[in-house]
Structure 1
């Protein structure tokens, strides 16, 4: 699963033993720990975490080679050695930190990702990390191997194809083991799809093109697809989407993607994702510094599209319907102005005090429309507010919404390693959104609690009885710093894994 010319995930296979013959252009990834037997005061050195797939002689050879290089096995520390007795070109030892009885899935995922990121020129990866956690290993390797080179010329394009095959070693190759591997492979491929969308520049991913790609992927996955163009949006009263799109020569769209797997008695879940393909701020224009990062302002839409595609691929026994509003927020003679009033879908009027608070305007339309389908749950995600970054930093999404469902989503997000954090929606914040001329203003007059104010605004468009959660990924959707773990520079795919895990939880538990 990928966007047109996007990243092609490696092929994953499960094996019960190392290959008998030497594999060209291959690396065996093994986990190591620091400190040998872990006793206090012992010499810091890398010791292999031995599982059933390495015999004592192989372990001894690997440890001798690592000791000769002074490897210590610190967290995500990488050391590559040659062990002639093994049927691979080389061995890559990846550190898990200090020795202990078990490691979290996220520790394994990050170690696998760090290893995969380092393997330029290697086509085939084999690993015993999977002895510790098979699914986390696959996710980490596939996502760590991710690269986006669609717009590289021959001058700077990678000279190798990168990791094309991953073999994970497991105690057996039974159906349950293979299904677990397929699950992890599908999840990682979905995250890569979201990354591809985010990394595609706005010159090539504007609303019409974004909708076209989403439609093609949706139809290929067997989803029901509907796309509303600018005329249909105006006709049907989507004032927020139309208003934000007025300043651009490239018109807005609303895409509906439906996976109907629940039957008459199954749960219904709505997904909504912000698809601002580029955000200048409009008339309330942003500072020039780092404005190019606004290529990621459709990160929520990317994750939602990837998630509903994954729900179809994994045949979840629930209904999942995604609404994805897409627009480009530009300043021009036709752009909406601060002080304009628009009417959101459903009839609520809004005074637009700041055109850079545009995400909530398009989301409100999509949320109101999604609620007409009478979902049991609604999950909305967006790169909504810079205040998320101020409050929680670059790696922690803020989760708001109905108390119980908010906490459920945040807990699942933490369990899968995306680290969402529950945030409140104090009732008094609604007073800050009062307008002198309309039902609501799109921003408050206060500089405080910006993320919570945005959540409060969106809450006004959620129908009574719908459990909902909003996930603000303003910073987590796009890594503007250096790569780490399985996370590259650029699009991260957050919160695709969170949303899909929530859908699986709903499918299993209601």
Structure 2
């Protein structure tokens, strides 16, 4: 989809569909009033019949209004007052559902007069383009009958001259973020017989070939042994698929400047291992690599925007399977840090690959490290599927991520990381156990990781509830690419 930004009189534009907002009570903003006047009051006449009340999400399609160059006018309800982000998304979903069903190849959105709470023209346009682009996503790679392509090819955002530069900047950035989300969704939606650690390594190398300022190293099983990553390797022991540690290195900032580091959990299929999961919905365990997929997507966005920062990505990729060689409950392994771990449950494998990755990134002397993982079902119980869990050892970093989530409408919520919870991880036989019992499972998982992240500011995002949607319409969401990219934008362009 091509997105454009333009400043012009809406009544003068030649387009297949002109989209206008109507508030509750059927009142028109100044943009819609100008179009109504040009059409001889045709819009007012329709509204007086009561066909559109103006509630958020309502829509009404009008054809061939007099004196307009637009073939159609789509009226969308915008409610009474300022819109919340959720209401704005509802409005955009409604108009997009109509546009996707029309035969026109382009549309002009004259929605600049809408007021979205807490958003200026830039932030409003950012959210608009990201929502529309994400709503047009399709994944039919393995369907013998492909989906019919949409007739719609171009969407133009109409704005005032004063906001033209900021809305154009928003368009460029939001398209990059949307492309990153699409890549994350594609990787997450791939079947696990194709999307395994070796495949992800090849995808990373392909990305590096396309972007000369990106370097990629893929560490194989032999190198992991040499590094002493006993915890990481323990997860992969039961699988025929060899593990891979994928390292992205983007140098967009000053030479020698400390990088930001993203660490992604890349369990390409999680059977649970010997502590095997129930069979129901186990197919969705292909999404256990969505943390790693979100790092791919964030790098895609950063590369497109050419952000002036240094950024490292480390993806811990493995498949967790049961076999005669698989790690057993009760096994003790030695991590790269030298700490020993008693594995009480092989289905708590994400923290076992991440802990070695967190030790590995010390060599980069990072400004900050953020790990992203579909780590615990307990996070879904605590926060549902709307909000990601967030913990960390540096309050400034945590607050920066919370603010980025609000700005991007990709929210996280801070959970405590008190020392009191650490006692649940005590083991009589090793330095630490890999689970802490049934209570506060998300927090004790964060406590486990915190023991390997003491050399730098660190935050942990648990995206178990937000990285994909379950059920009949299951699919990867592309989150938390918007949050991560906004955090990096804020670092690259400090206020």
Which blocks of at least 5 consecutive residues in structure 2 are unaligned?
A: 115-123
Q: Is the 8 A contact 2:266 2:316 kept in 1?
A: yes
Which blocks of at least 5 consecutive residues in structure 1 are unaligned?
A: 1-9, 37-46, 484-488
Q: How far does residue 92 in structure 1 lie from its aligned partner after superposition?
A: 3.1
Corresponding residue for 2:488? 503
Normalised by the size of structure 2, how large is the TM-score? 0.90
Corresponding residue for 2:284? 293
> 3-state DSSP class of the match of 1:354?
coil
Distance 1:53 1:189 in 2: 35
Corresponding residue for 2:359? 368
Q: 1:90 aligns with which of 72, 77, 87?
A: 72
Distance 1:316 1:229 in 2: 30
Q: Is the 8 A contact 2:127 2:408 kept in 1?
A: no
Distance 1:430 1:316 in 2: 38
Q: 2:107 aligns with which of 120, 125, 149?
A: 125
Q: How far does residue 474 in structure 1 lie from its aligned partner after superposition?
A: 0.3
Corresponding residue for 1:115? 95
Q: Is the 8 A contact 2:258 2:364 kept in 1?
A: no
Q: How far does residue 148 in structure 1 lie from its aligned partner after superposition?
A: 1.3
Q: How far does residue 356 in structure 1 lie from its aligned partner after superposition?
A: 0.6
Q: 2:314 aligns with which of 296, 316, 323?
A: 323
Q: How far does residue 234 in structure 1 lie from its aligned partner after superposition?
A: 2.1
Q: How far does residue 389 in structure 1 lie from its aligned partner after superposition?
A: 0.7
Q: How far does residue 351 in structure 1 lie from its aligned partner after superposition?
A: 1.1
Per-residue CA deviation, residues 437-490 of structure 1 (Å, 9 max, x unaligned), is: 22111101x2110000010011011133x211111110111122588xxxxx51
Q: How far does residue 117 in structure 1 lie from its aligned partner after superposition?
A: 4.0
> 3-state DSSP class of the match of 2:333?
strand
Cα 1:61/1:206, change in 2 over 3 Å: farther
Corresponding residue for 2:462? 472
> Is 2:343 the counterpart of 1:344?
no
Q: 1:160 aligns with which of 145, 149, 152?
A: 149
Distance 1:463 1:81 in 2: 61
Q: Which runs of 4+ in 1 moved over 6 A?
A: none
Q: How far does residue 189 in structure 1 lie from its aligned partner after superposition?
A: 1.5
Q: How far does residue 62 in structure 1 lie from its aligned partner after superposition?
A: 3.6
Cα 1:84/1:55, change in 2 over 3 Å: closer
Higher alpha-carbon deviation: 212-221 or 77-86:
77-86
Distance 1:314 1:235 in 2: 36
Distance 1:118 1:338 in 2: 54
Cα 1:158/1:275, change in 2 over 3 Å: same
Q: Is the 8 A contact 2:274 2:346 kept in 1?
A: yes
The correspondence of residues 35-114 of structure 1 with structure 2, limited to 5 A, is 35-36=25-26, 47-51=27-31, 54-57=34-37, 60-65=41-46, 68=49, 70-85=51-66, 86-97=68-79, 99-100=80-81, 102-104=82-84, 107-114=87-94
> Is 2:346 the counterpart of 1:355?
yes
Corresponding residue for 2:119? none
Distance 1:481 1:29 in 2: 33
Corresponding residue for 1:414? 406
Corresponding residue for 1:7? none
Distance 1:105 1:394 in 2: 17
Q: Is the 8 A contact 2:268 2:317 kept in 1?
A: yes
The correspondence of residues 454-473 of structure 1 with structure 2, limited to 5 A, is 454-464=445-455, 466-473=456-463
Normalised by the size of structure 1, how large is the TM-score? 0.87
> 3-state DSSP class of the match of 2:449?
helix
> 3-state DSSP class of the match of 1:394?
coil
> 3-state DSSP class of the match of 2:439?
coil
Q: Is the 8 A contact 2:383 2:465 kept in 1?
A: no
Corresponding residue for 1:196? 186
Q: Is the 8 A contact 1:400 1:471 kept in 2?
A: yes
Q: How far does residue 121 in structure 1 lie from its aligned partner after superposition?
A: 4.4
Q: How far does residue 130 in structure 1 lie from its aligned partner after superposition?
A: 4.2
Q: How far does residue 281 in structure 1 lie from its aligned partner after superposition?
A: 0.8
> 3-state DSSP class of the match of 1:278?
strand
Distance 2:99 2:285 in 1: 30
Distance 1:343 1:58 in 2: 75
Distance 1:186 1:110 in 2: 22
Q: Is the 8 A contact 2:77 2:91 kept in 1?
A: yes
Q: Is the 8 A contact 2:56 2:90 kept in 1?
A: no
Distance 1:218 1:63 in 2: 55
> 3-state DSSP class of the match of 2:358?
helix
Cα 1:48/1:194, change in 2 over 3 Å: farther
